[in-house]
Structure 1
Amino acid sequence: MKHSIRMRYTSVLVLALTAIIGCVVLFNCFYLESYVTSQKKKAVQETISLVESYVESGWGDDEEVTLMRMCATNNIGVYVYYIGDSMLPQVKYSMNYNWESLSKRFESYLWGNGIQADEIYEKTDSHVLYRVYDSRMNSTQIECVGKAGSARYIISTSMEGIKESVALTNRFLIYGGIAGAVLGSFLIYFISRRLTRPILQMSSLAEQMSELNFQVHYEGKRQDEIGALGESMNRMSERLETTISELKEANVQLAKDIERKEKIDEMRREFLSNVSHELKTPIALIQGYSEGLKDGIADDDPDSRDFYCDVIIDEAKKMNHIVKRLLNLDELESGNMTLSWEEFDVTELLRGVMQASAVLAGDHTCEVTLDSPEELMVWADEFMLEEVIQNYLSNAYHYVSDPGHIWIRAFRRDDGEVEISVRNTGNQIPEADLDQVWDKFYKVDKARTRSYGGSGIGLSIVKAIMNSHGGSCGVRNCEDGVEFWCRLKPKAEEASEVKTASD
């Protein structure tokens, strides 16, 4: 930190203290002497009033003591002369005053020689207040001569030493100011450490917040502006943490959306490529055999002509089958297909599908076992569920080992869902492919799939059907093969009964 706030704070306060001391010294140099002079004049004027009052009312011991105290306090000398042979002159004076010069100036005034004044401050019918330089004393005096009744008086105070006092005072202030500035600098430095500690603490907090560390908080208990700033920083930290968390979540969601969009685009391209590939072979066969018929290759052989026609019809059926399955899949995924919900016995459905699919065994030596209760009622679209089971069983027949075994199982789980599974012995599916077998046209063994005419969209249809039912489906590798499963949710009232029973 190049410019510490503590040093700035200390420097400002030290400069302010120095400036104050300097201003006091300058003020003394220019105004202290004038101020002392005005105070001297004021003291003389008060003494005039006191003397005139005593002359008019008469002298007493108390009055004399009061006058002597005033003279001693302000270094004032008083000389009073009563006119008349029966009256003796009375002089009230300060013990440290030179009365020789004062009496001579007073006698000169009484004999009418006038006043030798350097400056007259005030002149009335009863007195004259002036400034005069006393050459004998080598000092300037503030004096007042006047009359009160039958008395004449002179009051005088010396200005000697004022300049020296001012100079001495200024020197004292300078030395004291330097000492005070040095001592004050240390005090200000240590005090500024305490005053700036919360600011430095908040600076550290702000630095950590800038590094996205929002676990730090201002923990001060101050009730002033710094405390309010700390509380504001705490609120700002919480809001920033919340906002940044929301932004991170939004960014993560955006990244997922982008990834999903890219994946959808990739799947769309792959879908078009796979559709083109699946349709290319039957179209090529239809085109080839049609051209052969047109060219009259089989005109002389009815059996060959029938064979050509059978191939064309068979390939057209395959194309029609693929297109229908794609349309069904699209309707299922888009939610446009209406399900025919009904309650039926899934065990009976499994027996029917198992018997109808026995022909798929072909030359395989395969044993099929059904494990299901005598009656197991489910709530679903029977036609759609039959297609799910047919797809599972078709896969099992085509991938079962030779000799092999296929197990079909159905049961009701503790949570009320009905689970149907088809397991076959044979090769396992690579772990990396387990989540991808549900994608359209995805084939683990493309050569083997092509050999039995699979299109690669059967499992995609299974997933779409189960999603439309609100159920779930999955696949897992077993010790000796692969097992596909699906689960159907119970009917609403059945689910309520299952939950009550479990509670």
Structure 2
Amino acid sequence: MLIGSIAHPLPAISSDMACSDVLALMHELDATAGLAVVEDGRPIGMAGRTALMRNLAHPVTYALYEHRPISLLMRGNPLVVESGTTIDRVNELIATEKQWALEEGFIVVEGGRYAGVGTIQALLKRSVSDARTQIAELDHARKQAERANEAKTTFLANLSHELRTPLNAIMGFTDMLAAGAAGPVNDKQAEYLRDIHGSGKRLLDLISDLLDLSRAEAGRMELDEGEVDVPAVVEEAARILQVRARDKQVTLTTQLRSRTRLWADEGKLLQIILNLGNNAIKFTPAGGRVALTVDDAADCGVVLHICDTGPGIPEHEIPRIKEPFGRGRTARRQKIEGAGIGLALTQTLTAMHGGHLDITSTPGEGTCVHVHMPGGRAVARVETEPPAARLAAE
């Protein structure tokens, strides 16, 4: 908002006008702040009402200045602003440079020529009005965003149902065909059926992740909390991941250096490890390694490390891949499958537990994702001899 919108077009006074006449004019016009002293259309000073009344309040000073020109009592360096100046800028000038304008007001000009007087009262009134308008606009935008998010969640839930039903049927029929329900299946046909089943499974997993992310963002996802044996969950995740690691000829190991139990959602914790483990295996070439490690944290919590010997991630790409649907250049260049949902969902699930997720990576060497679960969730820490690193298959 521009300052010209609150300028009051009070008549200007000349520098030779008598002080008593100026005071009388102020009373007549109800000029609460003051009047601009103008020569040839341009302001040269400001006669502040409070200062003038103070100077003329005593009989001696009144007699001294009654018939003398206002130029003797005016402020010669008033705050003068162009009508196109923003209200925020005028507020800044008054707060930092021209504090006396709180009492005397300021002069508004257009092209350097007098246009009116502004007062702190009018400035505050407009600032409050603008603030209320902004609050109302923000509230409206928030409600629109909430409605859009609600519509998105409903749409995804409906879409999930519509997609799951035929996908489950397709996968069921491929299982039946692979089992010979419609007759013998040769090796090539069996390979095709495995591809169909695998593609259907990936689509179902993608739909589940997308729906989970939408529910979490909408605040509809809740934690089913209980006492969780973290090392046991890591070992369970390793058993599940071992099949994929073996198919890719990737060595998967676990190292359980903490026996801390957490108050957490066991299913969500398993989902976090599986999402990160699957990502690590996906990006690790044949002959590489993926390690799942559990450590005690300094705050008595737990840190899960999922490290791989993949291509690594340039530092400037890390913020992008942590966003929903964000994918790094390596994934795009190598045409690695994925929609960029898993990491965003993992961050959300971690945050729901009060934790946070960090990524460290060196291009050409590999990546580590560190999941920090806070000490406030620690239930018990059993001091045992930490097991040596071992193959997850053992």
| Structure-1-length-normalised TM-score | 0.44
Q: CA deviation at 1:389?
A: 0.5
Give me the CA root mean square deviation.
Answer: 5.4
Deviations 1:154-204 (A, max 9, x none): xxxxxxxxxxxxxxxxxxxxxxxxxxxxxxxxx999753222x24x55564
Cα distance in 2 for partners of 1:330, 1:370 equals: 32
Cα distance in 1 for partners of 2:301, 2:289 equals: 26
Specify the alignment match of 1:412 in structure 2. 296
Does the 8 A contact of 1:335 with 1:468 survive in 2?
no
Q: Please tell me whether residue 376 in structure 1 is matched to residue 260 in structure 2.
A: yes
Specify the alignment match of 1:214 in structure 2. 94
Specify the alignment match of 1:449 in structure 2. 336
Q: Report the 3-state secondary structure (helix = DSSP H, G, I; strand = E; otherwise coil) of the residue aligned with 2:375.
A: coil
Specify the alignment match of 1:193 in structure 2. 71
Deviations 1:116-174 (A, max 9, x none): xxxxxxxxxxxxxxxxxxxxxxxxxxxxxxxxxxxxxxxxxxxxxxxxxxxxxxxxxxx
Deviations 1:387-414 (A, max 9, x none): 1011111111121244333333333333
Q: Please tell me whether residue 427 in structure 1 is matched to residue 345 in structure 2.
A: no
Match of 2:185 among 303, 313, 327: 303
Does the 8 A contact of 2:18 with 2:68 survive in 1?
no
Match of 1:464 among 340, 348, 356: 348
Show the 5 A alignment for 1:231-310: 236=121, 239=124, 243=128, 246=131, 254=138, 302-303=184-185, 307=190
Closer, same or farther: CA 237–472 of 1 in aligned 2, 3 Å: farther
Cα distance in 2 for partners of 1:429, 1:6 equals: 72
Specify the alignment match of 1:5 in structure 2. 14
Q: Please tell me whether residue 353 in structure 1 is matched to residue 353 in structure 2.
A: no
Specify the alignment match of 1:333 in structure 2. 217
Cα distance in 2 for partners of 1:204, 1:192 equals: 19
Deviations 1:302-327 (A, max 9, x none): 42696476666555444444434433
Q: CA deviation at 1:371?
A: 4.2
Q: Please tell me whether residue 436 in structure 1 is matched to residue 316 in structure 2.
A: no
Q: Report the 3-state secondary structure (helix = DSSP H, G, I; strand = E; otherwise coil) of the residue aligned with 2:94.
A: coil
Q: CA deviation at 1:240?
A: 7.0
Cα distance in 2 for partners of 1:317, 1:205 equals: 68
Q: Report the 3-state secondary structure (helix = DSSP H, G, I; strand = E; otherwise coil) of the residue aligned with 2:72.
A: helix
Does the 8 A contact of 1:202 with 1:218 survive in 2?
no
Structure 1 segments unaligned to the other structure (5+ residues): 14-186, 221-226, 294-299, 496-503
User: Structure 2 counterpart of 1:303, which letter?
Assistant: V
Q: CA deviation at 1:449?
A: 2.8
Specify the alignment match of 1:73 in structure 2. none
More displaced 10-residue stretch of structure 1: 337-346 or 318-327: 318-327
Q: Report the 3-state secondary structure (helix = DSSP H, G, I; strand = E; otherwise coil) of the residue aligned with 2:321.
A: coil
Q: CA deviation at 1:384?
A: 1.0
Does the 8 A contact of 2:302 with 2:375 survive in 1?
yes
User: Structure 1 counterpart of 2:366, which letter?
Assistant: G
Deviations 1:200-233 (A, max 9, x none): 555648999965222334559xxxxxx96569x8
Closer, same or farther: CA 474–366 of 1 in aligned 2, 3 Å: same
Does the 8 A contact of 1:205 with 1:217 survive in 2?
no
Does the 8 A contact of 2:303 with 2:371 survive in 1?
yes
User: Structure 2 counterpart of 1:425, which letter?
Assistant: T
More helix by share: 1
Cα distance in 2 for partners of 1:311, 1:369 equals: 27
Cα distance in 2 for partners of 1:204, 1:410 equals: 66
* Greater C-alpha Rg: 1
Closer, same or farther: CA 243–475 of 1 in aligned 2, 3 Å: farther
Closer, same or farther: CA 214–316 of 1 in aligned 2, 3 Å: same
Q: Please tell me whether residue 476 in structure 1 is matched to residue 360 in structure 2.
A: yes
User: Structure 2 counterpart of 1:471, which letter?
Assistant: G
More displaced 10-residue stretch of structure 1: 202-211 or 359-368: 202-211
